[in-house]
Amino acid sequence: MQIERIFAGAVIAAALATGALAVRAPPALAFAPMALPLSATPLPLDRDDPGRSQVGALRFMGAVQLRSPSALFGGVSGLRAGRGDRMLAISDTGNWLAFTTVERGGRLVGVSDGVIAPILQPDGGAAATKADGDAEALEWDPASGTATIVYEQDHRLVHFAGIDADRPASLAAVPTRTERLTPMTGWPSNGGGEAIATLTDSVRIVISERKQRPDGSHIALLTRGGTTVEIGVGGAEDHAPTDAIALDDHRILVLNRRFSPMGQSSVLTLIDLAPALAGEVTAPLPARELARLVPPLTLDNMEGLAIRRSGGRTFLYMVSDDNLSGLQKTVLMKFELRL
């Protein structure tokens, strides 16, 4: 998301003026699927209270800061869970990223087996411009291999088949279809589709980061049975949605973030789409706040969500976009969701 890059750039410039920071050069795209070395440093939930383990409806189950010596790493903007401990992510620099979470006693302690690959365009090549590669949201079914990426700037949904986080070669897939929804043409260039969630085979929602109704609700496109309607969904005040994921066939979790010179925070909300699915789409759908992450809690520019379920429990992962800035971090966090 470019507005965050502007803020990060201003902070970096100030740091450079005092000699405090060396800026990384913008990364190049990977040319083919390749191994990506990753390291992980454990982080507490609360740096002022290392024993803290609860925030709202979330029970903390580990966090790590991810690093790589590769200039290709960074800008993670979407996340989904695959089979076992495998994860699939995308970056707004136009790359796929796959890795395995390392967990001990159910707690996240590290990552391993990183792979990075360019997200190919319909012509079979990597993105030639920022607008081509500005991938902001990911939906993926690891069982079927179908994946959808939402891009902003050039607003579109791009669909893939056969994507398998366990098989790096599958990340060299060419898109099967590009979908352009007419209402998206009026979305802000740098505030487009930041969140996508598929609830059933026939129900999908895409939420704009910055396109809002006069009542302050965020505009979302709800597709059901091939028909798309525009609805309004509630958010968190002074925050923008950056990812969403289905909790069941009618409820979604939405990750909202604030990132500004005034400070940063993240709010997890729950939205029930049942009224819209029943055809009642005039009023905005309210958002119920589940958890709020503010300093001194561990967080950064949180942009990605993933869910894993095991033994009747629901585990939620969050990841941040470091904006390719040495002043920011790629943070991966794990929680148990307790509703």
* Rounded Cα gap, residues 280 and 262, in angstroms: 38
Which of 136, 339, 323, 154 has the alpha carbon at shortest distance from 240? 136
For position 28, what pLDDT does the model report? 55
Instruction: Name the amino acid, one letter, at 160.
Output: F
Q: Is the pLDDT of residue 70 over 60?
A: yes
Q: Is the pLDDT of residue 116 over 60?
A: yes
Neighbour-count burial for 260-295, b at 16+ CB within 10 Å, e otherwise:
eeeebbbbbbbbbbeebbeeebeebbebeebbbbee
Q: Is the pLDDT of residue 253 over 60?
A: yes
First to last CA, the chain: 31
Give me the residue label for tokens 């979330």: 58
For position 7, what pLDDT does the model report? 38
Percent of the chain with pLDDT over 90: 83
- Please report which helix (H) or strand (E) contains residue 22, including its range: none
pLDDT band (50, 70, 90) for residue 73: very high
* Rounded Cα gap, residues 237 and 73, in angstroms: 31
Distances (CA, A) of 248 to 92, 252, 270, 273, 281: 28, 7, 11, 10, 20
Q: Is the pLDDT of residue 330 over 60?
A: yes
For position 29, what pLDDT does the model report? 64
pLDDT digits (tens, 9 = 90+) for 260-298: 777 799 999 999 999 999 987 778 999 999 999 999 999
pLDDT digits (tens, 9 = 90+) for 6-32: 334 433 333 323 223 333 344 456 678
> Is-above-0.85 flag for pTM?
yes
Task: Assess if CATH 2.115.10 describes domain 2-337.
Answer: yes
Q: Environment class of residue 1 by beta-carbon count within 10 Å: exposed (0-12), middle (13-18) or buried (19+)?
A: buried
* Rounded Cα gap, residues 298 and 179, in angstroms: 37
Q: Which residues fall within 8 angstroms of residue 231, CB to CB, at 6 or more apart? A: 219, 220, 221, 222, 276, 281, 284, 285
Average pLDDT over the chain, rounded to an integer: 90
pLDDT digits (tens, 9 = 90+) for 155-190: 999 999 999 999 999 999 999 999 999 999 999 988
